[in-house]
Structure 1
Amino acid sequence: MVKLNQLHTGDVVLVNDEGLMREGVVLDKDLAEHMVQVDNGIQEFWYSPQDIYPVALNEEQLIKFGFEKEILDGNAAKYKKGAFRLATPVAGDFSRLEIWYREDKRHFNVPIAVHELQNLHLSMTKVPLEKP
């Protein structure tokens, strides 16, 4: 389950669509009704927060967002999109991350979800992170 206040328009999430998990994009949210409108690839539908789940951040998701991979010394990997960078000390292990944009550098020792990366990208660059 994802908290309603963590979601923003354009965020990528998983939704439970009558027992079938689908990846979708947040279109809108209604705070009064406590519902989120998501385009699940088939239809636009309103979901309650208990039917919305985070998408795990991994290399496949970063590539979908247009990041380029660069192998560093040892087994580390860096992913680049413009001046925005994301580095992992072990390629394929996203449990520890270093994210930076110009002088703003942040460290994470826990896995983050795709929607959290999108929100970080927006707060750091002032530009939404969307799939091309």
Structure 2
Amino acid sequence: MINIHELKHNNYVVADYEGQKRKGTVSGIAPEDKQVCVTTDEGNQDFWYDVENVYPIPLTDAEMGHLGFTKEDLEDDAVKYKKDAFRLVIPQRDDFSSVEMWYREDIRRFPNVHYVHQLQNQYHDMTKIFLE
């Protein structure tokens, strides 16, 4: 389950309907009803889901690639992901448990970023650009 207060329009999530899980994009949020509208990747259809049926997408190397980041291997097994002037560094390959990110003068060490939607929100907060 995902915290509904973390969600913003265009965040990527996984929605579950009767055991069928589909990736999609948040297209509406109704906190008072505890529901999230998700536009699924399959068929571009909007469906409303109870928040307990909406799940975050864990950050992985593959997801960083899907978001348009380029990867640079650093010494001592650290990895830097780059997109324009934005940088994100993880201490060890495939370990997104602690990240450091920066955009120009804005540096954030160990923000609460473990899922794609959290990265999208931090990226937007820092750059004022939606990460898609």
Alignment of 1:62-77 (within 5 A): 62-77=64-79
Aligned to 2:36: 36
Segments of 4+ moved more than 2 angstroms: 30-34
2:80 to 75, 78, 81: 78
**3-state SS of the aligned residue for 1:116?**
helix
Q: Deviations over 1:80-109 (max 9, x none)?
A: 000110001111111121111111111227
2:127 to 125, 128, 132: 125
Aligned to 2:105: 103
Distance 1:83 1:10, change over 3 A: same
Could you tell me which amino acid in structure 2 is paired with residue 14 of structure 1? V
Q: In structure 2, what is the Cα distance between the partners aligned to 1:10 and 1:110?
A: 19
Root mean square deviation, CA, Å = 1.5
Q: Deviations over 1:44-94 (max 9, x none)?
A: 100111111110001100100110001111211100000110001111111
After TM superposition, give the deviation of residue 33 of structure 1 in Å: 2.8
Aligned to 2:90: 88
Structure 1, unpaired ranges of 5+: none
Structure 2, unpaired ranges of 5+: none
**Contact 2:112 2:118 (C-alpha < 8 Å) held by counterparts:** no
Could you tell me which amino acid in structure 2 is paired with residue 8 of structure 1? K
**3-state SS of the aligned residue for 1:26?**
strand
Aligned to 2:57: 55
Of 32-41 and 104-113, deviating more is 104-113
Q: In structure 1, what is the Cα distance between the partners aligned to 2:35 and 2:61?
A: 30
The number of residues matched between the two structures is 130
Q: In structure 2, what is the Cα distance between the partners aligned to 1:50 and 1:5?
A: 13
Could you tell me which amino acid in structure 2 is paired with residue 129 of structure 1? L
**Contact 2:113 2:119 (C-alpha < 8 Å) held by counterparts:** no
Alignment of 1:10-21 (within 5 A): 10-21=10-21
